[in-house]
Every structure is written in C-alpha cells, then in structure tokens.
Structure 1
C-alpha cells in the first residue's frame, strides 16, 4: 500500500527512530549525572558546569545537522539523492575543521570561562578538569551531527539510531566502571563520553564511504552551508546566553542550587529532544514537499505535527507530575539538593505542552529553511524574557524559582512567535 506523504504512518516511521537518536545523548547524560551524583555535591556541580560549557559549544554548531537536513531534504524531494548525500560529505568536512578549532580554543579558554561563570573555587576547578578531557570528543560530536543531518534529509532515521545507540550503550557500561571501580571519579565520566562519541562518528563516516559519492571537499557547497548556518548559530547563541546566565546565577546561589538545577535541566533537555523527534520528521517531510513544489502538503503537515506535539506534551506533564517523589532521588541523595528541586520541578512539568507545540513548529520552519525568522524570534524572546528575569532573580534573591520563571517566559514568547509565523504561510517557499 502506498503511504501518503505526511500521513501519520510516515511521520512516525521517521519520528520513532529519530526519537531514539535524540534521546540517546541526554539519556546518557542522565546516566552520567546519576553516576557522578553519587560522588557528592561538588563533583555534580563540576559536571553541571563542564557539561554546560561543552554542550554550549556543540549546540552552537547545530546547523551541521539542522541546516544539512534542510538542504538535503529539498534535494531529496526533487529526486536528486546523489546531490543530497554530497551535502553530507561537505558538512562532514566542515565538522572536522570546526571540531579541531573547538578543541584547541577550548583548551586555551577552559579555565577563564569556567571562572567567569562560577567564580574561582572548587566548582570551577572540577568543571575544568572534566571539560579538558571531554573536548577531545568535539570533532566526533560534530561529525555525528553532520551524519544525522544528511541521513534525516534522505528520510533514513534508522541507521543513525543504530550508530548512536551502539556508541552510547558501550560508554554507559564503561562510565560507572571508570568513575567508581577504577576510581577516576569525575574525569572517568569525561573519558567515557569521548569513547561514545568516537564510536558513533566512525560509523557515520563509514556510511558516507558506502554511498560511493565523491568525498573531496567542495568550497562552494561549504560556503553555502555556512550561509544558512549563520542564522542558526545566532539563534543558538541566544539559547547559550540564556542557559549560561541561568547556570551562573544558580552557581552564585549555592552548591545545592546548582546541583538541583543540573538535575532538572538535564530532564528538561531530555524531554525537549523527545518532543523534537516529531520536529525531525516534520523537517524532513516539509523540506521534501517544498523541494517537490507541494506547498499545500507542507502547510497541512505543519498543523498535523503541532497536534501530535501538544498531545505528547500533555502526556509528559502527567508522567513527570506523578514521578515527583521518585525521580530526583535516582540522581542524588544529597539532602540540600533534594530540598532545592521543588523550586524548579513544577514549572518544568507545566511547560511540557507548550514545549511540544514550540518544538514541532520549530521543526516545520527549519525544514522550510526559515532560519532568519527563527533567529529573530529566539533572540527577542531571550532578551525580553529569559535573560532579564534570570539576573533579576540574583539581584532579588529569587533563587531557582526565578531562574525557571525566566525559562517559562522565554517559552511562552516563542510559542506566540512560531504560531503566528506558521499561520501566515510565508515560510512555504517551493523549489530546491
């Protein structure tokens, strides 16, 4: 039976494997948090600081996945698979170059940046110790992003799932051994991270070689990818400014507050990517539909995915409300950290339906290549909502509650922006 493009079957055929890929990394981070959390509050705070810095560097370069998917999907929709895969080759070359630059600069800047955020002291020292090792995985993370990007664009989300699960699964076994059995402590978790990233990156490179397309770099295509990447990088910098401000304020509140923020934030990141699996399917299908000239199909798909996102967001709210007394204790036994968690938990729960809609429509607009609008909407929402409220919470001693009120305001502003843009239809531009 022929499956209509954009049908529920096709959306979920792409979304379910994408969910596995998206959830694998934050799920591994949750395992990492639980393993390190039982070392005590200080190692957990060091992981929070080092992990945030590493994730901010890698997330600034998500155009290697999202931008590549957008360009590849349009070519795939137009029936040009070879050209679509070649976008993946160029994205991989770009990932190698940028990843090596990140490694070198990160080693030079790790200490001053950590001390800028957390102040001089044991939290900054622990974060730097973890980060210096983890940075060796930066080129591997970026290669994996590029691989996910081109495979999503050609509507293959199953192989990336196998690659990422294999790397992270092996590393999840290695992590507690290095941290607790071998006795490397916090640094052992960083070594396990690099192992996982290397395995996944090698598999994505192997997949490109098997496609039998030219593997040499093409400067013209790399420049085109950088052009689209500019808006996505600026958008990501707005996220970074917001979440780095939040961690900085939490660090200046107390060690217990930053530990609690780390736990709830990692759960937030995990659920954000769970919801984003629908956005990945939308991105691939919307890009293909517009590349084939079917703008009506793209518009219909946008609202279809939005409904799915809302339903999933409501379901997640219910599940995590029920788990309130159970889940935090899996990550830490420190009484002070557990006492801080309720200040963020209930806002985290209430935000899930909003996040479901926002992430779904982000995927639609990214699939259409509407990166300039998403850049502006994110920057404005951050500067009007998240950032000022976070720093006001420091000035007025609102603590963790103030930080999460800032995040809530940020999400509501983004909700209004993406819904209005989607309703306008101006994003549905056809052609390659």
Structure 2
C-alpha cells in the first residue's frame, strides 16, 4: 500500500490540511448530539428526566474517554506499519485491536452493575436523577463493544491517512441518533430509555457501516491475517504496552480535569458555572487543535515507519504552523469577543460577571496548551507513549502542590484565580516536558 509523499513543506501542509479538516468537522458534530438530547428530553414534563440523562451521559463520556487508547494506539502502530508498507501488519493490527475492543466491551457489560453504581455515586446526583441515570446507563452499556470497536476502526483508518471515514461514520452515528431520539421520545412517548436505545442502535449502525468500509479497504491490501498474531497472547505485547501507557496517561488527564471541576464546585455554584462556561471555550478550541494533532499522528507514524527523518521534520513543522495559527486566532478571539461569547452561553448576570473576571486565564490557555496537543499527536505517531505518561505525572506533581499553596496564600476572593493558575501551570509543565523529550529524541532517535 503506497501513501502520498510529503517530502516538501508545501506537500506536508496540503497533507496535514487534507487529513485535519474532516477530523475538525467530525469533532463539531459531537456537541450537536448533546444539544439535541437536551432539547428532546428538556421538553418532558419533569426536569428530573433531563438531570438523569445528563448524569448518565456524563458517566459514559468519562468511561469511554478512558478507553480512547484503542483509537490512539491503533493509529500510531498502523501508521508505522503502513510506512513500512507491511500490509500483513496493517491487517493484523486491526484484528488485534478489534479483539481487544470486544474483550473490554463485553467485560464492561459483565461488570456494568458495580461500575454504574460507583460512577453515579461519584457524580452525586439527586436520588430521582440517579434512578433515571441508572435506567439510562443499564441500556446504554449494551453498546460498549460497538463503541470500542468503532474506536479501533477509526484509528486504523486514520493510521492509513484516511480521515474522511471518521467524518462519514460520526455523521451517520449522530444522524441516526438524532432521528431515533425524536422518534422514540416525541413519537413513542418514551423517556430516558428512548434516549439510551437511540444511542445503542446508532452505535451498532456505525459499527455495521464501519465494518463494511473495513471490508472494502482490506480488498486493497496485500498480505493476510495470521492466526498466531491474533490468538497468541505474546503477540499482543506491543499493543498492550502502548495502550497501557495511554490508559494511564488518560486517567491522569481525567483526574486533572475532575480535580479542577471539583475545586471550583466547593467555591459555590456561581464559580462552578463560570468555570464550566470557560471550559466550553477550551473544548471549542480543542476541536481544531485535535484535528491537526490527529493528522500529525498519521503522518509522523508513517515517516517513523519509513525511517525518513527529513520528512518527519517537515511534517512536524507543518503541523506546528497550523496549530500555532489556530491557538493565536483563538486567543485573539477571546480578547476581542470573549465577553460576547460568554453572553451567548449564559444569561445569568452573576455568572457572566464571574466568567469575565477569569477570562484572562482563557486568553493564555490556547498559546500554552497548543504544544501539548501537538506533541501528543507526534508522540502517538512515534509510539513514544511512556514520555506522554511521564509528562502527566510531572505536570500533576506541579499542579497539585501549586493549587494547595494558592489556596493557602491567595487573598479572600482570589481562590479561583489560584485554581486557574494551577491548571494553566499543569498545561505549561506538560508542554515543557514533552518539548524536552521531543528535542532529546530529535537528537538521538528521530534523526
């Protein structure tokens, strides 16, 4: 399987953009589904239905984000195999990732009772909302094998520099989900069970479509599936090493985000709401920066597989250019229109005022966090995952003590500024550590 070259800066920029724009559009479709869920359930006669769906959806967002390594690990390893033009390895990585996804997915179903109970206890909703969230979660967990298999399929296609499949699958998933949401809840009079079943059916529809696309792609590949690669546990060692470190790294990120939210919550509802509004800005910017980072994963992985370090450097520079332009544009937008954006997200005067007070932290965030997004993509493509894991631990070692010190030293009323400073420091330290690893490897391994 021959992939297009990106041996010149212009070619690399074109390739980065070609891969990135479908990924950016794919990311934009994700919040659209949440808006439709909210609109449909929000018209039911009791607010506890919306609270229940919100709790349940939050639980699955955290759960599935934790297993995002199935997408990332598959992308990096597949990209390197494609760079070596080893079609048998490309095939067998798909088989291994799908079997791993199936094992985890069915394991989650078997353990769903205690997992759901523990997760909802940690989210600490009202009794009525928790009861409805439990009903929602018991249905939605049934699609865990499909969700995780789709992660593997998306990573496999991205590793072969095919990002349009991601857009096609996510658009189909969300379209089916939205139509069934309306049909089940408004048409059939269902409640949280209707929303959950809509998601389950959409997930399995996506898996069926993705499997069809996989079948078409396999016809273009040479090589064959090898039984010993699929059935021998030792053959999974590299996949386990990569995915294990990615899982630990993701747990660290989840902890950092959850800690930020919880420390804002203890300062009162207004601060919690203001932080939530500003975090939506971070999510918005991440849609674009993730697109360029994912494109870097595929291209960097290919150059590593081919051992073409000249193309490696060109690809990194091209991805960095797009990422930095995006970060600078985001910061400028927050400077010029941050207060207007806040007003779009909340009509509560006290929340608007609080969010405006902390807006300067949001202006700085894209320019600092951009490096961690970009370098994550580079390190995933190069499967240098231990470095990513270590960067999280080092960043947490700065984040937590600085937060504690800030709460102790900050004047009254400035505790949330101290929290934002600690969170910004977390992003800064992670970026700095990854940059240090990058320059070390560029001199010693990637050269």
Q: TM-score, normalised by structure 2?
A: 0.81
- Which residue does 1:418 correspond to in 2? 434
- Which residue does 1:21 correspond to in 2? 26
- Which residue does 2:423 correspond to in 1? 407
Distance 1:311 1:292, change over 3 A: same
Q: Distance in 1 between matches of 2:444 and 2:89?
A: 22
Task: Identify which range, 201-210 or 129-138, moves more after superposition.
Answer: 129-138
Larger Rg: 2
- Which residue does 1:300 correspond to in 2? 314
Q: Distance in 2 between matches of 1:135 and 1:344?
A: 37
**C-alpha contact (below 8 Å) 2:154/2:165 kept by paired residues:** no
Task: Identify which range, 224-233 or 121-130, moves more after superposition.
Answer: 121-130
Distance 1:390 1:145, change over 3 A: farther
Q: TM-score, normalised by structure 1?
A: 0.84
* CA deviation after TM superposition for structure 1 residue 64, in Å: 1.0
Q: Match for 1:66 among 64, 72, 78?
A: 72
Deviation per CA, 1:54-97: give whole Å up to 9, x if none: 22221222221111111111111111234213211221111111
Distance 1:148 1:252, change over 3 A: same
- Which residue does 1:115 correspond to in 2? 121
Q: Distance in 1 between matches of 2:197 and 2:353?
A: 31
- Which residue does 2:144 correspond to in 1? 138
The count of residues paired between Structure 1 and Structure 2 equals 430
Q: Distance in 2 between matches of 1:46 and 1:255?
A: 19
Aligned with 1:207: secondary structure?
helix
**C-alpha contact (below 8 Å) 1:310/1:356 kept by paired residues:** yes
**C-alpha contact (below 8 Å) 2:406/2:415 kept by paired residues:** no
* CA deviation after TM superposition for structure 1 residue 336, in Å: 7.0
* CA deviation after TM superposition for structure 1 residue 377, in Å: 0.3
* CA deviation after TM superposition for structure 1 residue 417, in Å: 1.4
Deviation per CA, 1:194-242: give whole Å up to 9, x if none: 3332222222222233315549743344343112111111101101222
Q: CA RMSD in A?
A: 3.7
Q: For structure 2, which runs of at least 5 residues remain unmatched after alignment?
A: none
Distance 1:390 1:262, change over 3 A: farther
**C-alpha contact (below 8 Å) 1:67/1:149 kept by paired residues:** yes
* CA deviation after TM superposition for structure 1 residue 311, in Å: 0.8
Task: Identify which range, 147-156 or 379-388, moves more after superposition.
Answer: 379-388
Task: Identify which range, 113-122 or 85-94, moves more after superposition.
Answer: 113-122
Q: For structure 1, which runs of at least 5 residues remain unmatched after alignment?
A: none
Task: Identify which range, 281-290 or 165-174, moves more after superposition.
Answer: 165-174
* CA deviation after TM superposition for structure 1 residue 376, in Å: 0.5
Q: Distance in 2 between matches of 1:297 and 1:51?
A: 42
Aligned ranges for residues 108-187 of structure 1 at < 5 Å? 108-118=114-124, 121=127, 124-125=130-131, 127-175=133-181, 178=184, 184=190
Deviation per CA, 1:10-50: give whole Å up to 9, x if none: 11111112223343334433554566677798666655543
**C-alpha contact (below 8 Å) 1:48/1:259 kept by paired residues:** no
Q: Match for 1:7 among 12, 36, 50?
A: 12
